[in-house]
């Protein structure tokens, strides 16, 4: 049998308690990785661990942490790194509150940037020495198609995702050989987050939730919502040795929804 492509590699998946993060943790487990799952909800992470081991993970452990607490995150990462290096990081986190950018406060903008950009930078600086020593590292950021085409009424998310995309592109020119960074831009995907946005859109517009979902599908040439496992498959590829020559790319996984090239 072919050895799993991530056997002998350790992965850290953020936002792993649900949706795309959870699906990604399972995808990396299926490729033989040692998987650490990070999120605020410890009980969900603990329930996920047996599934990761069943999927094929060489080791799995929960790492409860809050990406809004950078000091606590630094301490938590130090505890995990005492066990050994991390070779793969999937930066994925919950979106900030929706709403018009016109109405956003400076404090709200700061919280959004801290959760997305500053947390990713904190993680990168903690794990990079181990990646460089191993000659293997992968950072994959789960962002949004809003990086290329801002989406109405999620102003804070638009700007924080774009900031992370610029951060990742800049790092792609600075990271040592063997350590890459890339972004995945999901389109409309069947997650709890999209369900929440659909509820808010329904309340604003007077449309039913079914009509809101129909609009999501209407603008997606593939004719349906994405599945978390489909986004996870793209992420897992970018984490693999097969993606060694892909660096600084933002890959849309959106069923063709984006208009831009």
Contact by Cβ (8 Å): 258, 145: yes
Same structural domain, 42 and 142:
yes
Same structural domain, 143 and 63:
yes
Dump pLDDT digits (tens) for 24-62. Answer: 999 999 999 999 999 999 999 999 999 999 999 999 999
Does residue 5 lie within any of the structural domains? no
Domain count, the chain: 2
Dump pLDDT digits (tens) for 144-154. Answer: 999 999 999 99
CA nearest 252: which of 230, 173, 194? 230
Structural Rg of the chain based on CA atoms? 18
Same structural domain, 70 and 109:
yes
Same structural domain, 116 and 197:
no
Does residue 260 lie within any of the structural domains? no
Same structural domain, 231 and 202:
no
Range of the domain at 238: 10-187+227-253
Same structural domain, 22 and 129:
yes
Show Cβ contacts of residue 203 under 8 Å, excluding neighbours closer than 6 positions: none
What is the pLDDT at residue 44? Answer: 97
What is the pLDDT at residue 1? Answer: 46
Show Cβ contacts of residue 50 under 8 Å, excluding neighbours closer than 6 positions: none
Banded pLDDT at 261 (limits 50, 70, 90): confident
């Amino acid at each position: 049998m072919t050895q799993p492509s991530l056997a002998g590699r350790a992965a850290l998946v953020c936002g792993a308690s649900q949706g795309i993060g959870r699906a990604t943790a399972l995808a990396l487990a299926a490729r033989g990785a040692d998987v650490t799952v990070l999120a605020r909800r410890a009980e969900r992470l603990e329930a996920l661990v047996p599934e990761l081991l069943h999927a094929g993970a060489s080791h799995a452990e929960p790492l409860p942490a809050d990406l809004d607490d950078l000091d606590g995150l630094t301490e938590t990462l130090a505890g995990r790194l005492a066990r050994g290096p991390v070779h793969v990081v999937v930066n994925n986190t919950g979106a900030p509150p929706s709403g018009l950018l016109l109405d956003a406060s400076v404090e709200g903008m700061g919280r959004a940037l801290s959760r997305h950009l500053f947390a990713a930078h904190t993680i990168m600086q903690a794990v990079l020495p181990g990646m460089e020593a191993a000659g293997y590292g992968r950072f994959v950021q789960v962002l949004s198609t809003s990086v290329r085409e801002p989406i109405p009424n999620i102003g804070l998310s638009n700007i924080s995702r774009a900031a992370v995309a610029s951060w990742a592109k800049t790092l792609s020119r600075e990271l040592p050989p063997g350590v890459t960074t890339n972004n995945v831009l999901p389109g409309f995907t069947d997650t709890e987050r999209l369900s929440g946005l659909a509820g808010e859109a329904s309340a604003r517009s007077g449309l039913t939730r079914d009509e809101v979902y129909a609009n999501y599908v209407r603008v997606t040439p593939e004719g349906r919502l994405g599945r978390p496992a489909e986004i996870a498959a793209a992420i897992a590829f970018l984490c693999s040795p097969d993606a060694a020559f892909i660096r600084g790319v933002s890959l849309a996984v959106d069923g063709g929804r984006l208009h831009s090239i």
